[in-house]
Amino acid sequence: MAEAGPDLLAAVATFGLGSDLEGLPTPPEGEWRRTLGRLTFQRLTGLAVAAAQAGALQLAPERWVELLRAHREAMAHCLTLERTLLEVTAALEGEGVAGVVLKGPALAHTAYPDPSWRPFGDLDLLVPVSQWETACATLRGLGFLRVYPEPRPGFVVRFGHTALHRNPEGVELDLHRTLIAGPFGQWIDPGDLFRGTVPFTLGGHTLRRLGDTARFLHACVHAALGFAPPLLLPLRDVAQTAHAGSVDWELAASLARKWRIAAVVGFALRAVRETLGVPPPAGAQALMDLPVERRQRRALSACVGPRRFRGGPAVETLRAIPSLRLKAAYLRALLLPSREFLAARVPWGRRPGYLTRWRTPLRWLRRAVDRA
């Protein structure tokens, strides 16, 4: 009997990509609770239900009922999110803010053959930097509150990538300035993201999403850098957007060079091949062969390796920030954030304070002194 783990989940994550004719591994006896928990955590219930309906995943009747229940909960949340999205985009439009829907609803409705295959847990909306304050004020008017204060006023607009908002219903909305945090967020030009957006329809309203090429690149960035190790649904998004969309591979290579994300794209495509067993489309080979600068490799390693949780992304972000004045502002915000920020971000069980905040850089300093 197969191990209830990555093999089964990865097989579910590839359902519908053409490789499932032989059927998927059967969830092992005694492991169902854990398997269902992992399917839910990885947001794979939609693909599992589709695989079971197609006869590729064999489930006992009581397990089928439990899977359906978990999937129904996920879908109910998606519908609540979509209703909120329509309310938010209409309000933003009323204020003249041109929002672009990222990830969840945009992928579910335009990249997948059935939106129920692609659950999502929150909303992601990209807005132009010039309209950031108006967008935040509009969200406040709709009852959304900012979940975390900024380290310093204006930090997100200059260095960050999102501001998490939550409304009284518990709906979470990430307002994006760019696609990703860290050094790659400094290199991606947000202006490029608004060129080539395309419309899609939801609930009778026309919304905008990234074009197929930028959408594929975003899927790669999110899969590679969003979680370490990469989660299965973001990897499926990469395969889905690469194979199902009409990606302009020359444009993709050009943007990957400009945004310095060739290493990230290569990492994501390799992870899709190794984890899901799905090879990149022929057109993507040129992307994987792009020359990668040393600083890109170093930045990627800081974001996906052990340095990820030891300040690596912050150091690489500092390196990526273009001017000395901005580097100083970034350092000041990280080392001397506001008291509100400290109180909101303090690890559980610790008291908010600058010494806790400085623990990691002080360790670096001590190590440097020891080496010297």
Q: Which of 38, 43, 71, 357 binds other proteins (CB under 8 A)?
A: 71
Under the binding rule (CB under 8 A), the answer on residue 19 touching other proteins is: no
Residue 116 or 131: which CB sits closer to other proteins? 116
End-to-end, the C-alpha distance of the chain in Å comes to 56
Residue 202 or 214: which CB sits closer to other proteins? 202
Q: Which of 4, 47, 49, 224 binds other proteins (CB under 8 A)?
A: 49
Spell out the residues 6+ positions from residue 142 whose beta carbon is closer than 8 angstroms to its own: 87, 88, 91, 167
Q: How many CB atoms are located within 10 Å of the residue 180 CB?
A: 23
Closest contact distance (angstroms) between CB of 15 and other proteins is 14
Within the chain, residue ranges assigned H as helices are 6-13, 32-41, 45-53, 61-94, 104-110, 132-141, 155-158, 182-187, 190-194, 212-225, 232-244, 249-258, 262-271, 285-288, 294-304, 312-320, 324-335, 339-345, 354-371
Closest contact distance (angstroms) between CB of 68 and other proteins is 5
Alpha carbon distance 26, 305 (integer Å) = 33
Under the binding rule (CB under 8 A), the answer on residue 86 touching other proteins is: yes
* 352 half-sphere exposure, CB direction, 13 A CA radius: 11
Is residue 311 within 8 Å of 278, Cβ to Cβ?
no
Q: Which of 1, 2, 60, 76 binds other proteins (CB under 8 A)?
A: 76
Residue 114 or 293: which CB sits closer to other proteins? 114
Under the binding rule (CB under 8 A), the answer on residue 52 touching other proteins is: yes
Q: Which of 33, 34, 72, 359 binds other proteins (CB under 8 A)?
A: 72
Q: Which of 25, 104, 115, 183 binds other proteins (CB under 8 A)?
A: 115
Adjacent-strand bridge partners of 123: 173
Question: Residues 200 to 239: which contact other proteins by CB under 8 A?
Answer: 201-205
Longest alpha-carbon distance in the chain: 66
Residue 78 or 188: which CB sits closer to other proteins? 78
Q: Which of 12, 13, 47, 78 binds other proteins (CB under 8 A)?
A: 78
Alpha carbon distance 245, 111 (integer Å) = 7
Q: Which of 19, 34, 41, 53 binds other proteins (CB under 8 A)?
A: 53
Backbone angles phi, psi at 128, to 5 degrees: -65, 145
Is residue 28 within 8 Å of 5, Cβ to Cβ?
no
Residue 71 or 218: which CB sits closer to other proteins? 71
Closest contact distance (angstroms) between CB of 85 and other proteins is 10
Alpha carbon distance 234, 230 (integer Å) = 7
Q: Which of 26, 58, 116, 360 binds other proteins (CB under 8 A)?
A: 116
Question: Residues 172 to 201: which contact other proteins by CB under 8 A?
Answer: 201
Name the site residues for other proteins (rule: CB under 8 A): 49, 52-53, 64, 68, 71-72, 75-76, 78-80, 82-83, 86-87, 114-116, 201-205
